[in-house]
Chain A
Amino acid sequence: MEVFNVFGDLAGGFATALQPFNIFMLFVGVLLGLVVGVLPGLGGTSAVAILLPITVIIARTSPTSAVILLAGVYWGALFGGVVTSILFNIPGEPWSVVLLFDGFPLAKRKGKPGVALASSFFASFVGAFLATVMFTFFARALADFALSFGPPELFAVFVMSFATLIGLGAESPVKAVMMIGFGLLLAAVGFDTLTGQPRLTFGQIGILSGINFVPVTIGLFGIGEILASAEESGIGFVERLSAKVGFSDILETLGELRKRIWLVVSTGIIGFWFGILPGHGATAGSFLGYGLARQWSKHPEEFGKGEISGIMAPQASADAAAVGSLVPMIALGVPGSPTSAVIMAGLFIWGLTPGPLLFTEHHDFVWGLIASIYLGHLLTFIICLLAVPLLASIMRIPYAILTPFIVLISIIGAYSLNNSMLDVFITIVFGLIGYWLRKMKYPLAPLVVAIVLGDSTEKTLRQSLIASGGNPLILVQWPIATILMALAVILLLIPFIRLLRSRGRARTAALEAETIGTAID
Chain B
Amino acid sequence: MVVAAVAMIDSRAGAMVDTTGREPGGVGAGFYPFWSAFLVFVCAAVVGYKSWRSTVTGPPVYEGREGIFAVVKLVIPMVVAVVAIAWLGFYIVSGLYMGLFARWIGRYNWLVVALLTVGMPAAIYAAFEIGFRVSLPKSFLYNIGVLPF
**Interface set of A (CB-CB < 8 Å, partner B):** 53-54, 57, 172, 174-175, 177-178, 180-182, 184-185, 188, 192, 194-195, 197, 199-200, 202, 223, 226-227, 230-233, 235, 398-401, 403-405, 407-408, 411-412, 415-416, 419, 421, 424-425, 428, 431-432, 435-436, 439-440, 458, 461-462, 465-470
Contact present for A415 and B43 (CB under 8 Å): no
Instruction: Select the residue from A185, A398, A403, A405 with max chain B CB neighbours within 10 A.
Output: A185
Nearest CB on B from A216, distance (A): 15
B62 / chain A contacts, CB cutoff of 8 Å = 231, 439
Q: Tell me if B6 is interfacial: C-beta within 8 Å of chain A.
A: no
Our pick among A172, A178, A425, A432 for the contact of B39 (Cβ within 8 Å) is A178
User: What residues of A have a CB within 8 angstroms of the CB of B28 in the complex?
Assistant: 195, 197
Encoded as 1 (CB less than 8 Å from any A CB) or 0, chain B from 23 to 54 comes to 11111111111001111100110110010000
User: With contacts A177-B39, A400-B101, A407-B97 known, is A439 near B12, CB below 8 A?
Assistant: no
User: How far apart are the CA atoms of A436 and B98 in the complex, in Å?
Assistant: 25
Question: Could you tell me the distance between the alpha carbons of A262 and B50 in the complex, rounded to whole angstroms?
Answer: 45
Query: Is B14 in contact with A200, judged by CB distance below 8 angstroms?
Result: yes
Most chain A Cβ neighbours within 10 Å, of B44, B61, B67, B102: B67
Verify A405–B98 contact, CB threshold 8 A.
yes
Interface contact B29-A439, CB-CB below 8 Å: no
- The answer to whether B105 touches A399 (Cβ under 8 A) is yes
Q: Is the CB of B134 within 8 A of A416?
A: yes
Determine how close the nearest CB of chain B comes to the CB of A53; give it in whole angstroms: 8
A403 and B32 form a contact (CB under 8 A):
no
Which of B23, B32, B61, B90 is A188 in contact with, Cβ under 8 Å? Answer: B32
Shortest C-beta distance, A358 to chain B (Å), equals 26
Contact: A421 with B47, CB < 8 Å?
A: no
- The answer to whether B116 and A425 have CB atoms under 8 Å apart is no
**B126 beta carbon closer than 8 Å to chain A:** no
Interface SS, A side: helix
- Cβ contact within 8 Å between A231 and B68: yes
Residues on B with beta carbons closer than 8 Å to the beta carbon of A175: 43, 47
Contact of B70 among A231, A411, A412 (CB under 8 A): A231
Whether the pair A174, B18 counts as a contact (CB closer than 8 A) is no
- Asked if A233 contacts B27 (CB within 8 A), the reply is no
- A465 and B27 within 8 A (CB): yes
Contact assessment for A177 and B43 in the assembled complex, using a CB-CB cutoff below 8 Å: yes
**5 tightest A-B contacts by CB?**
A400-B106, A470-B26, A466-B25, A181-B39, A178-B43
Give the chain B neighbours of A399 by CB distance below 8 A: 105-106
- When A199-B18, A458-B32, A470-B25 are in contact, do A424 and B61 touch as well, CB less than 8 Å? no
Residue with the highest number of chain A CB atoms closer than 10 Å, among B14, B15, B135: B15
**Residue B141 lies at the interface, judged by CB distance under 8 Å to chain A:** no
What are 8 A-B contacts with C-beta separation under 8 Å? Answer: A195-B29, A200-B14, A400-B106, A405-B98, A421-B85, A421-B86, A465-B26, A468-B25
Candidates B1, B25, B97; contact of A462 at CB < 8 Å = B25
Which of chain A's residues has its CB closest to B19's CB? A199
- The residue in chain B whose Cβ has the minimal distance to the Cβ of A198 is B29
Q: Interface readout for B63-101 with A: 1 if CB under 8 Å, 0 if not?
A: 100011011011100110110011000100010011011
Closest to B14 in A: A202
| Interface contact A174-B71, CB-CB below 8 Å | no
B contact residues around A408 at 8 Å (CB): 94, 97-98, 120, 124
Given A194-B29, A408-B94, A408-B97, A231 and B71 contact (CB-CB distance below 8 Å): yes
Q: Which residues of chain A have C-beta atoms less than 8 A from B14's C-beta?
A: 200, 202
* Additional pairs, 9, CB under 8 Å, beyond known A174-B50, A185-B12, A462-B32: A177-B39, A184-B36, A197-B20, A197-B28, A223-B78, A403-B74, A404-B98, A465-B25, A467-B25
Given the contacts A233-B70, A425-B82, A440-B4, A412 and B128 also touching, CB distance less than 8 Å: yes
Q: Which residues of chain B come closer than 8 Å to A195, judged between CB atoms?
A: 23, 28-29
The 8 Å CB contact of B15, one of A172, A185, A403, is A185
Q: A405-B120, A408-B124 are in contact. Are A192 and B29 (CB under 8 A)?
A: yes
| CB of B82 to closest CB in A, whole Å | 6
Residue of B nearest to A409 (CB): B124
Shortest CB-to-CB span from A344 to chain B, Å, is 20
Look across to chain A and name the residue whose beta carbon is closest to the beta carbon of B79.
A428
Q: Indicate whether B122 reaches chain A with its CB closer than 8 angstroms.
A: no
Q: Counting CB contacts under 8 A, is B114 at the interface?
A: no
Are B70 and A435 in contact, with the CB atoms below 8 A? Answer: no
Across the interface, do B67 and A232 meet the contact criterion of CB distance under 8 Å? yes
Chain B's nearest CB lies how many Å from the CB of A438? 10
Across the two chains, which residue of chain A brings its CB closest to B33?
A: A188
A412 contacts across to B, CB distance below 8 A = 90, 124, 128, 134, 136
- A408 CA to B43 CA in the complex, in Å? 36
Q: How far apart are the CA atoms of A57 and B132 in the complex, in Å? A: 7
Inter-subunit contact A185/B132 (CB<8 Å): no
A499 CA to B126 CA in the complex, in Å? 57
- Which of B74, B90, B94, B100 has the most chain A CB atoms closer than 10 A to its own CB? B74
Looking at the assembled complex, report how far the CB atom of B122 sits from the nearest CB atom of chain A, in whole angstroms: 13
Cα distance A184–B39 in the bound complex, in angstroms: 10
Say which residue of A174, A182, A467 sits within 8 Å of B46 (CB atoms).
A174
Chain A residue numbers with a CB within 8 Å of B50 are 174
**With known contacts A175-B47, A416-B128, A469-B25, A185–B75 Cβ distance under 8 A:** no
- CB-based nearest B residue for A193: B29
Question: Across the two chains, which residue of chain B brings its CB closest to A471?
Answer: B26
Contact, CB under 8 Å: A200 / B4: no
Q: Is the CB of B47 within 8 A of A200?
A: no
Q: Give the complex CA separation of A155 and B37 in angstroms.
A: 19
Contact at B74–A230, with CB atoms within 8 Å? yes
**Does residue B118 face the partner (Cβ distance < 8 Å to A)?**
no
B142 interface residue (CB < 8 Å to A): no
- Which residues of chain A have C-beta atoms less than 8 A from B133's C-beta? 57
A227: B residues at CB distance < 8 A:
71, 74-75
Task: Give the distance in Å from the alpha carbon of A2 to the alpha carbon of B134 in the complex.
Answer: 45
CB-CB < 8 A to A177: which residues of B? 39, 43
Complex formed: what's the CA distance from A199 to B70 in Å?
Answer: 38
CB distance from A493 to the nearest CB of B (A): 17
